Structure 1
Amino acid sequence: MRRRMRILWSLALACAFSVLIYVSYLLGERYHNKPFQTIVAHSHASIDHIAFPVVIICNKNRLNWSRLPEIKKLYKVTPDKEKLFEKILTAYDGLSFQQFNVFDSLIGQDLEGMNIYNFTEIAAEMSWKCNEILANCIWQSRSRDCCQLFRPRRLPLGHCLAFNELEQRKGTGTGLNTGILLRLLLREEDHAPGNLNPKGFLLTVVEASVWFGFPIDIVPHIRTNVAVTAVYHYFDETTLSLPSSLRRCVMDYEVDSEHFQTLEGQKYMLENCLAECQQRYLLRYCNCTVDLFYPPSNYSACRATDLPCLAAHNHLLQNFEQSGEHPYVHRDHSGLLCDCLHNCKSLTLVTDMRKSVQSPWIPSNSTREMGMWLNVYFKKPSMLVYKTNLLYTWFPLAASVSYVWVVPLSV
C-alpha cells in the first residue's frame, strides 16, 4: 500500500514539475517576445499642456506677378531670354512636391542659359508678403498685426506664411473664434496669367517642429472654420531599453538608430523623416534637391537644366509606399519607400472642417479684393492620452515565476 502511494505521489510530483516547467517556459517566451500594450492613460488631459498648432497658409498661386518687372530689371534679364524666363516662373507659380509636371513644357528646351539664375531665390523674392494676402488678424479675441503673427516659411508647397512656429503660444480657450481668425486676400489680379489652375489657398495645421503635413483646400467665397482635436501618444520608460526596430518608434536622441533620418537641423519627427526621404529620392532620380521646399542643407540644389528631369520622374514621386503592400495595393508605378517610424512621443492633430458661403468679395479701401475668412481653434479643452508599455518587464516576470514555483511546492 505504501509502495503504491509512493508511486502515485511520484507521478503527481512529476506532473506538477512538468506543468511548472512548461508554464515557466511560456512566461519566458512571452518576456522574450517583448509584447506591448497600449492603454488610455488619461481621457481628459488638459490642452494647456500643449501649444496651439502651427497654422501655415499658402496661396495656390505662389508668386506675386506684379513684382516681375522689378525682378527682370534686378536680374538683368535680356529680351532674348524673357519668354523662357517667364515660362519657368509660371511653372514655379504652381509648383509643389508631387506636381513637377508643371515643368513638362520645358522638356526639349535649351535651358543652359537659364542656369545663371537662382530660381529658388527669385521665387522667394516674388512670394507673397503677409500684408499682401493676410488681413484682419484676430488672436484670442484681440486684433493683432498679421505681420507680427506670421513669418515666411519653406514647405513642400513652396514659400508660405506660418503662425506660432517659433513662439509656441498656448491656446487659452476653446470653441469658435477663440483661436486664430483672419481674412485671406486672393489678389487675383496679381497672379501669373499663364497659371490656369484653380484659385484659392492651402492650409496646413501641424505640431511645432513638424516640417510639413497634408494640406486642407481653402476655396474662394467660403468661410472656413477648422476645429482641432488633439491626441497624444507616448511610449513609457519600460520600452526605452529596446531597440527602435522592436519598439517601432524613435526617440529624438537615438541618432545611431537605423531608422533615424531627419531633415538637416531638425529634430526627429515622422513627418521630418518623410521629408528627408523625399529629398533623397530627388537626389536619386535627378542628382539634386528642390531647396525651395526644405531647410538649408549641403545637398546640391536643382538648376534650370534639372527641371525637365523632375518632370520626367513626377509619376514616381506621387505616393508614399509601405513595405510589403504590393500584394494588397495596386500601383501602376512604385512609390517612395521610406523606412520611417513614428516618434515615441507624438501629438496627432485631428481637424474637423466646416464651410459656409460668404460674400464673393469684401471691399477694402477703393478696390475689390476677393477675401475669405479662416478660423482655426481648439474644439474642446481636453485630449486623449495613450500610453504604450511592455506587457511583461523583469520584475512582474520574476513575480510570476516565483508564484508558479512556490504554489506547487507549498502543496
Structure 2
Amino acid sequence: MAESAAASGVASAQGIRDRVLKLPWWSSIKSSFFELFSKYTMHGYKNLVENKRLAVEKFVWACMHFIAVYTSLWIVWSTWTEFTDNPTITTLDNQNYPIKRIAFPAVGLCNINRISKYRARKYAEYLSQKFVDSQAREGIQSEVTEEMINDFYGKIRFLGRLLDFDIEGYEEFLSFQEQLEILDPDPTIEMWNVEKTFADISPTCDDLLLICKFNDIEKNCSEYFTTRRTAFGYCCTFNFVRPRGSTFELSGTPKYPAGIGDHAGLNVVVNTSTSDYYYPMANFAGALTLLYDTMEYPDITTGNTRTEIIDPSTENFIRISINVYEADREVKNYARDCKFKDEDFDEFKGRYTYTECLIKCKMRSIIDLCSCIPFFFPTNHADIVTNTTIRCTLQHVPCLNKYRIKWRTITPSVQGINGLQQEYQDSLNCPQCFALCSYTQYKLETTFNPIIKNPDGGILSKFKDISDLSIVRVFYASDTGFLYKISVTNTWYDLLSTFGGLFGLFLGFSIMTVLEMIYFLCFRMYQYLTKKFSDDEDDLKISIMKQMYPNKKFPHSYKEIERTLASGYNKKMNFVEYTE
C-alpha cells in the first residue's frame, strides 16, 4: 500500500514537473535569453534581468547598452567602409634601390622634318613615270617632264595631313588620293599602300644618326636603333622591344646600363641639317627625343612618353632618375584602381599596360568613327586590326580632323567636376583602362650647352663642320632609386584585432563571449524547446522561472516536488503551478 502510494506520488510529481516546466516556444526563447543575460560575461548584461533592480535602473542599463552597441557598430562600419574604399597603401620601402635591376628606357629620336625632300622628289619621279605608263596603255604618247615631276612633288606635301590631320587644301589632296589609287596600287591589298609610301618618303635613320654609343661602346647606329612606328610617324628607336608586326613575340632583349654618368648611357650625334626639310611638324629645326618604357607604344596622350626637343648645334644632357612601384600579389584580391600585367590575359597575352589599353581604346574609337586606322598605330592587336581593316588615307582626313581633340584627351577617372562638362563630352572615355600596379617611373632633368668641338679628340673630332650637329646624352644620374611598396592597408588579422578591440572597449566582447552566445542561443534553447533537462537542469530552470516571474510561487527544486507528493499527504502544495 505504501509502495503504491509512493509510486503514485512520484508519478504525480512527474506530471506536476511537466506542467511546471512545460513552456510554450516563445517562453523557451525568453528563458534562453534570460539565462544568457544572467550568466553572460559581457559587461552589465545581468543588470537587465536581476529582480533586485528597479524598472528605472533596468531601463537606464538598457539605454546604455543600446548606445554602446550602436556606437561600436557605427565605428566598425566606418572603419570597414574606409578600408573597402582605400584598401591599399603606398610606402617608401627602399631609398637605395639599385638601378642595375631596372632596364634602360626606350629612346626614340624623331626628325622634326617628317618628309624627306630628296625622297619626296624620288617618289614624284616614280609617280610621273607611272602616269606616263598609264597614258601609253590608253594609246596616248607622252614623256616625263620637269613640270610633271614638280606637280607631283608639290602634291606629296599633302601626305603630311595623315600625320597632323590638317584639312587645308582638302579638294586638292582628295584629287591627289584618287591619283595615288590609280598610279600606285599595292597588288597585295589592291589599293594604295600608305605604310609603304611613308616608309619610302620619311627621313632615314642613316641620315639622322651619325655616331651611336651605349655603355661607352661605339657601334654602327643600325645595331642600336631600328625604325619603328610612333605617334609621330616612323622614328629611330633604341631599346624598344615591344612586339612588332602581328605577333606578340618580343622584338629584342632590354638593355641595362653599366653604371651612371654620360659615359655609361646612350650617346648619339644627330644630324639636324635643314637642307632636306620638306614637311616639318613644327616651326623650328632639330629633333625630338622620346623616352618611354621598353614595352609600350610611345604616345604622349597616354602619359607614358616624355619628350625633349633637341635644338641644332647643342649638347643635351638628359639625366634620368627612377621610382619603382611594386605591388604585393595580395593587392589583387581587393578593390583597386590598378591592374597587374597578367590580367586580361586573353587580350594582352600577359603584357597588359595602361598605355596599351588606352591605345586599343583609341583605335576602336577611330575605327568606329572614321572606319579606318592611321598607319602609325601598332598592328598586333588582332581583335582590332584585321586583314580587312582599312588604313586611313587622305579621304579620311576630314573625319580624323573632326575628332582629333577627342583622341588627344583622356577622360579622367574622377567624374562630376564642375566646369569640365564639355571636356568630358569631347574626350576619349576608356573606363576599362587602369594604371599598372607595378611599374617604373622615369623622371627627367634636361640641360644643354652650345656645342663645342673638342680638338683633342671627342665624339665630334671626326667632323670638320659641326654647325648642323647636335649631341644627345641619356644616362642615369644616380646608381640608386626609390622603391615604393603597394600593399594592403589591413590584413584579415589587422581587421580582426581592430574590430575586436572596438567591441571589447565598448561591450567587453571577446571570442569566449561569442562561444557563450552560441551555447545559450543554440544548445540551451534547443534544450528548452525539447524539454531535455536533467534534474539539476530542472532545478536551474525553476530558479530562472522564479526570477522571470517573481510574483508567482514555485517549488525550490524538482526534488521538493517528488518528496512532497511521495509522502502520501494530500495537503495542498505550497506553490502555484505556472501555466501560461
Task: Tell me which interval the TM-score lies in, with the shorter structure as reference length.
Answer: 0.7 to 0.9
Q: Give the Å deviation of 1:252.
A: 2.2
Aligned pair count? 399
Whether the 8 Å contact between 1:174 and 1:381 is mirrored in structure 2 is: yes
Greater Cα shift, 395-404 or 49-58: 395-404
Q: Which residue of 1 aligns with 2:566?
A: none
Q: Give the Å deviation of 1:195.
A: 7.9
Structure in which a larger fraction of residues adopt helix: 2
Greater Cα shift, 5-14 or 307-316: 5-14
- The letter for the 1-side match of 2:180 is M
Unmatched tracts of structure 1, length 5 or more? none
Whether the 8 Å contact between 2:125 and 2:149 is mirrored in structure 1 is: no
Distance 2:264 2:289 in 1: 18
SS in 1 for 2:253: coil
Structure in which a larger fraction of residues adopt strand: 1
Q: Which residue of 2 aligns with 1:319?
A: 409
Cα deviation code 1:77-107 (max 9, x no counterpart): 42698567534532445864xx211x52234
Q: Which residue of 2 aligns with 1:372?
A: 470
Q: Which residue of 1 aligns with 2:447?
A: 354
SS in 2 for 1:238: helix
Q: Give the Å deviation of 1:19.
A: 4.8
Whether the 8 Å contact between 2:112 and 2:280 is mirrored in structure 1 is: no
- The letter for the 2-side match of 1:310 is L
Matches within 5 A, 1:261-340: 267-296=351-380, 297-298=385-386, 299-322=389-412, 324=415, 327-329=418-420, 334-339=426-431, 340=433
Distance 1:405 1:196 in 2: 67
Distance 1:251 1:88, change over 3 A: farther
Distance 1:40 1:10 in 2: 49
Quick check: which has more Rg, 1 or 2? Answer: 2
Q: Which one of 128, 137, 150 corresponds to residue 203 of structure 2?
A: 128
Q: Which residue of 1 aligns with 2:332?
A: 240
Q: Give the Å deviation of 1:2.
A: 9.5
Distance 1:151 1:126 in 2: 17
Q: CA RMSD in A?
A: 3.6
Unmatched tracts of structure 2, length 5 or more? 1-49, 132-143, 186-191, 241-251, 299-304, 454-459, 514-580
Q: Give the Å deviation of 1:275.
A: 2.3
Distance 1:159 1:389, change over 3 A: same
Cα deviation code 1:233-274 (max 9, x no counterpart): 2332222013xxx31112222218xxx987xx8932122222
Matches within 5 A, 1:143-154: 143-154=218-229
* Percent pairwise identity: 18
Greater Cα shift, 246-255 or 289-298: 289-298
Distance 1:126 1:87, change over 3 A: same
The TM-score normalised by the length of structure 2 is 0.60
Quick check: 1:113 aligned with 2:179? yes
Q: Which one of 283, 296, 300 corresponds to residue 197 of structure 1?
A: 283
- The letter for the 2-side match of 1:141 is D
Whether the 8 Å contact between 1:316 and 1:334 is mirrored in structure 2 is: yes
Distance 1:94 1:176, change over 3 A: farther
Q: Give the Å deviation of 1:31.
A: 4.5
Distance 2:340 2:464 in 1: 55
- The letter for the 2-side match of 1:134 is L
- The letter for the 1-side match of 2:102 is I
Quick check: 1:90 aligned with 2:157? yes
Distance 1:32 1:133, change over 3 A: closer
Distance 2:110 2:236 in 1: 7
Greater Cα shift, 221-230 or 4-13: 4-13
Distance 1:84 1:289 in 2: 28
Q: Give the Å deviation of 1:329.
A: 4.4
Q: Give the Å deviation of 1:131.
A: 2.5
